[in-house]
Amino acid sequence: MMHIVNTDHTSRQERREARRISAPMTVVIGNTPYAIENWSLGGMKIANYYGPLQPSDKTEIRILVPTTGPGALFQTNAEVSRYDSRDVSLSVSFQSLDILAQATLNRYMQERVVYGQA
């Protein structure tokens, strides 16, 4: 019996629990800054990643959020869920966002929606 396996990447999007947004932010891994391609309260996709992290690795990260005013910086832990060699991206899930980090990301997402930039 033949089984059909759906390899369409859009199905991944539909399984996500949180809405993705492409508002600009920066993540620092070690001492190297990377642009974040898209993110949600559950994790993020890092663009042009050439570091050593691979799926299932855990790491400490710092995220720079350019909110209105002075901006914000927070630190959290993340687990690598996927590395895509086609577009050289790294996807990670947040392991322990504290209440302040969640509030900062929510505020930034709301600002982007209000100004029509989400």
Cα–Cα distance measured from residue 96 to residue 94, given in angstroms and rounded to the nearest whole number: 6
Beta strand 32-39 with 26-29 is antiparallel
pLDDT tens profile 57-100: 999 999 999 876 677 899 999 999 999 999 999 999 999 899 99
E strands, the chain, are 26-29, 32-39, 43-46, 58-65, 72-84, 89-94
| % of the chain exceeding 70 in pLDDT | 81
The structure tokens listed for 31 are: 């001492």
Domains and CATH numbers, the chain: 16-113 (2.40.10.220)
| % of the chain exceeding 90 in pLDDT | 57
Cα–Cα distance measured from residue 104 to residue 106, given in angstroms and rounded to the nearest whole number: 5
pLDDT, residue 38, reads: 94
